[in-house]
């Protein structure tokens, strides 16, 4: 969305590291719905800053990141459930 020159892997790592640190500090002072809104704004601001994008593109990048996170979590959950079921002798993943 912002181009390969602007979206570097190291920038994504910085977004995660700084986001976690800032949100941990803010989380001690701001709770509930207001805390969620502040956290959301911080993450979008980090995306905007590091990827050199506008607010609209930063929001879209955040939405896409959340969708990818959900898909990966579901796939990992399915594989974990299937592996546990296989260990319990209840079927599980098909063997090759």
Does the predicted model carry a pTM greater than 0.75?
no
Full DSSP string of 34-82: HHHHHHHHHHHHHHHHHTT--HHHHHHHHHHHHHHHHHHHHHHHHHHHH
* Residue 92 in domain: no
Residue 1 is assigned to a structural domain of this protein: no
pLDDT higher at 18 or 1: 18
Decide if pLDDT at 93 tops 60: no
| Tens digit of each residue's pLDDT (9 = 90 or more) over 18-72 | 988 988 888 889 888 898 888 889 989 999 988 888 999 999 988 998 899 899 9
Which single residue is written with the structure tokens 């979590």? 73
Q: Which domain holds residue 76?
A: 9-87
Please check whether residue 72 lies inside any domain of the structure: yes
Residue 32 lies in a domain: yes
Q: Is residue 81 part of a domain?
A: yes
> Is residue 80, in this structure, part of any structural domain at all?
yes
Instruction: Report if residue 43 sits inside a domain.
Output: yes
Grade residue 91 by pLDDT with cuts at 50, 70 and 90.
low
Calpha distance 55→36 (Å, rounded): 18
Q: How many domains does the chain have?
A: 1
**4 is a domain residue:** no
């Amino acid at each position: 969305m912002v181009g390969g020159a602007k979206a570097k892997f190291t920038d994504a790592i910085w977004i995660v590291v700084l986001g976690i640190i800032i949100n941990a500090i803010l989380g001690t002072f701001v709770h509930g719905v207001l805390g969620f809104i502040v956290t959301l704004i911080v993450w979008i601001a980090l995306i905007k800053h590091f990827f050199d994008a506008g607010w609209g593109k930063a929001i879209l990048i955040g939405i896409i990141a959340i969708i990818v996170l959900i898909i990966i979590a579901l796939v990992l959950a399915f594989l974990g459930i299937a592996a546990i079921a296989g260990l319990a002798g209840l079927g599980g993943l098909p063997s090759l």
